[in-house]
Amino acid sequence: MSDVLLLAIDTSTSAITVALHDGSSVLAEATTLGARGHAEHLAPGIRTVLDRAGVTPTDVTHVAVGLGPGPFTGLRVGIVTARTFALAVGARVHGLCSLDVLAHQGVVSGAVSGGELLVATDARRKEVYWSRYAVEPAQPGGIRRIGDPTVSRPADLDADVVALPTVGRGPQLYPDVWTAGILSPGELRSAPVLPGSSEGFGLIDVSAAALAELVIQRLAAGDPVDEHEPFYLRRPDAVPSASSAIARSALG
């Protein structure tokens, strides 16, 4: 693809991750791991990748964002940042299920090379967000999602699902459930594998470089990738009482 400058953002996992991609390779990437303040770190991260690549905001032609599922507050920061940036510079907005990106990371890193894989991430409240994927080299990103992303208690997953090679934080959080599917420590941090990338990525958190690569591949395959509504998977009424406290309670 020519004349492409894609800004990629994901805030669905504990990484606040940003990358720039020119359609053939990664130009710059910046990831803050384990940070809590998504809103604090994201905008400086975008400035960092723009500066590193020596481009200006108006050079950006596409903005891609991870749509989760993930903790709501951080997720919204990423999506509203992407939508607003695109509005300001007249770029197109693209959205991807963040679990798809992790599946792509599992394949492109070489950790999983055939059959099926599972992505399971932290949904808090003793649950995981998860999805199954078929590894198919002919597909963009080498993966095909089987079914919709779901939120479940780990113990409620079928044994044959949990036995699949698993990407994401789920196995680390619930080692009593993932007794077979957990990848070895060596597989949890890959060497740089994406064209142009100087950084590796783990298989625990989303990498914006991998997100950018997956969007570019899907666009090249003719998929418009133009949905950008968040994957909440839970109704607002179901959030824990600490954060769902009615601000102006009428129960006095």
Partner 1 sequence: MTDGPLVLGIETSCDETGVGIVRGQTLLVDAVASSVDEHARFGGVVPEVASRAHLEAMVPTIERACREAGVRLQDLDAIAVTAGPGLAGALLVGVASAKSLALALGTPLYGVNHLASHVAVDVVEHGPLPEPTMALLVSGGHSSLLLVPDVTRDIRSLGSTLDDAAGEAFDKVARVLGLPFPGGPFIDRAARDGNRIAIDFPRGLTSGKDRQHHEFDFSFSGLKTAVARWVQLREQAGEAVPVNDVAASFQEAVVDVLTRKAVRACAANGVDDLLLGGGVAANSRLRALAQERCDVAGIRLRVPRPGLCTDNGAMVAALGAQLVDRGRTPSRLDLPTDSSMPVQQVQA
Footprint of partner 1 (CB under 8 A) = 37-44, 46-47, 57-58, 72-73, 76-77, 79-85, 87-89, 230, 232, 236-237, 239, 243-252
The residue among 39 and 163 lying less far from partner 1, judged by its C-beta, is 39
First to last CA, the chain: 61
Report the alpha-carbon distance of residue 23 to residue 20 in Å, rounded: 9
Q: How far is the CB of 118 from partner 1 (least distance, A)?
A: 28
The residue among 24 and 84 lying less far from partner 1, judged by its C-beta, is 84
Report the alpha-carbon distance of residue 233 to residue 218 in Å, rounded: 24
Q: Omega before 165 cis (within 30°)?
A: no
The residue among 27 and 162 lying less far from partner 1, judged by its C-beta, is 27
Q: How far is the CB of 88 from partner 1 (least distance, A)?
A: 4
Q: How far is the CB of 78 from partner 1 (least distance, A)?
A: 8
The residue among 74 and 168 lying less far from partner 1, judged by its C-beta, is 74
Whose CA is closest to 93, among 215, 226, 223?
A: 226
Q: How far is the CB of 10 from partner 1 (least distance, A)?
A: 14
Q: 186: buried, middle or exposed (CB in 10 Å: 19+, 13-18, 0-12)?
A: exposed
Report the alpha-carbon distance of residue 243 to residue 89 in Å, rounded: 35
The residue among 51 and 136 lying less far from partner 1, judged by its C-beta, is 51
Q: How far is the CB of 236 from partner 1 (least distance, A)?
A: 4
